Amino acid sequence: MSGVAELAAQLVAIESINPDVVAGGSGEAAVAQFVAEWCERAGLETTLSEASPSRPNVVAVARGSGGGRSLMLNAHMDTVGVTGMADPFAPKIDGDRLYGRGSYDMKGSLAACMLATVEAKRRALRGDVILTAVADEEFASVGTEVVVASWRADAAVVAEPTEMQVVVAHRGFVHLEIETHGRAAHGSRPHLGIDAIAKMGHVLTGLEELDAALRSNPTHPYVGSGSVHASLIEGGQEFSSIPARCVLQAERRTIPGESVSQVEDEIRAIIGRRVSEDPEFSAGVRVLASREPFEVEVNAPIVEIVRGHVARVLGAEPDLVGVSYWADSALVAGAGIPTVLFGPRGEGAHADVEWVDVRDLERCVEIYAGAAGEICA
Ligand SMILES: [Zn+2]
């Protein structure tokens, strides 16, 4: 077993289910302890600190001699749950695959980042390489939020598994709550009531039209268009009452350039159009949560440098791509650090069978270390 596969297997064996995703999950404390001790032994300047109570981050620095640019390598330590998996924490190597929960998302890449940081130290670079092993990516990303508030770098690689492609964009999201206001009345006296659920029908139709309009006009070269869909709906008490209130939760996925206030305006426009046709229509919208989309200039040094090392190691120019999921990259880039996502091939993030390609992990060590060598030279 290669060094990186061995290290990844050790990380997989330590359960670190995000307790906000699955009640009873252990969180990152044990795996963070392991990562911190490993980094300390490897001679990195290591800090273990809580991003929030019992949710630690590890930051380990291969300190440069001074005057060079710095590179951040970011990997999350938490995993999703394991329902339906056989032996999720018994890592197994079969051919080129390492099986187990978190092998692919993303303890394999975490191991590769750890080894690449040690390799950077061995090369005695001028700039710092800053490994950030973070908590809570699978839920609220408090780990990376805290890291980027106190650590700076000139560039970053978020090591999510990307099938050995260089990811330069992903979507963001806005979680919305829309409420229609009616008037309660007994079902036998309809002239006294206003049916809030029926009124929501107009909002739903408006959302469907908005979604069709967005998706018929893809404008972003890597992630196409945004979208919107209904998520949850609630209202009414019983058969014989006209409902006074209906609440819809909906999600708008956004592309780079689309803002939260623009999304709110879209919903207000749907409401406003209906108000002008129906004096009894009354509705409001509020934003419950949002995360920014991510993109990086394709000619930024971090893109060209990572791309160059991928080409060197794989023997072919990698594609620049966008991905549909959200990741911590948006927070890192949002802090003003030019960022790409790059990581190994595999399968089964959040699924019953999860594996990562261990040959890719070896290649990732070489690519991360190569990029660090060039950026921090
Ligand atoms: Zn992940």
Cα of 213 from ligand 1 centre, angstroms: 31
Cα of 347 from ligand 1 centre, angstroms: 12
What's the pLDDT at 2? 80
Cα of 122 from ligand 1 centre, angstroms: 28
Cα of 14 from ligand 1 centre, angstroms: 16
Identify whether the C-beta of residue 203 lies closer than 8 Å to the C-beta of residue 248.
yes
Answer with the one of 237, 260, 291 that is the final residue of a domain.
291
Contacts of residue 96, defined as CB under 8 A and 6 or more positions apart, other chains included, come to 357, 358, 359
CATH number for 246: 3.30.70.360
Same domain, 217 and 141: no
What's the pLDDT at 1? 66
Domain enclosing residue 250, as ranges: 172-291
- pTM exceeding 0.75: yes
Residue 198 burial (CB < 10 Å; 0-12/13-18/19+)?
middle
Same domain, 233 and 268: yes
Neighbouring C-beta atoms of residue 374, cutoff 10 Å: 17
Same domain, 87 and 164: yes
Same domain, 302 and 285: no
Same domain, 45 and 160: yes
Could you give the CA distance from residue 314 to residue 68 in angstroms, rounded to a whole number? 27
Same domain, 45 and 184: no
Number of domains the chain is built from: 2
Phi, psi for 233 (deg, rounded to 5): -140, 145
353: tokens are: 């069978």
List, for residues 94-119, the tens digit of each pLDDT value: 999 999 999 999 999 999 999 999 99
Same domain, 88 and 154: yes
Count of H helices and E strands in the chain?
Answer: 9, 19
Same domain, 277 and 333: no
H runs (alpha helix) in the chain: 3-12, 29-41, 108-122, 142-150, 196-215, 260-277, 301-314, 329-334, 358-375
Would you write out the chain's pLDDT as a tens digit for each of its 377 residues?
689 999 999 999 999 999 999 999 999 999 999 999 999 999 999 999 999 999 999 999 999 999 999 999 999 999 999 999 999 999 999 999 999 999 999 999 999 999 999 999 999 999 999 999 999 999 999 999 999 999 999 999 999 999 999 999 999 999 999 999 999 999 999 999 999 999 999 999 999 999 999 999 999 999 999 999 999 999 999 999 999 999 999 999 999 999 999 999 999 999 999 999 999 999 999 999 999 999 999 999 999 999 999 999 999 999 999 998 999 999 999 999 999 999 999 999 989 999 999 999 999 999 999 999 999 99
Same domain, 189 and 138: no
CATH number for 47: 3.40.630.10
Could you give the CA distance from residue 32 to residue 10 in angstroms, rounded to a whole number? 12
Q: Which residue has the tokens 């996925």?
A: 253
Cα of 312 from ligand 1 centre, angstroms: 26
Cα of 190 from ligand 1 centre, angstroms: 52
Cα-atom radius of gyration of the chain, to the nearest Å? 24
Helix (H, G, I), strand (E, B) or coil at 192: helix
Q: Are strands 71-76 and 155-158 parallel, antiparallel or unpaired?
A: parallel
List, for residues 12-53, the tens digit of each pLDDT value: 999 999 999 999 999 999 999 999 999 999 999 999 999 999
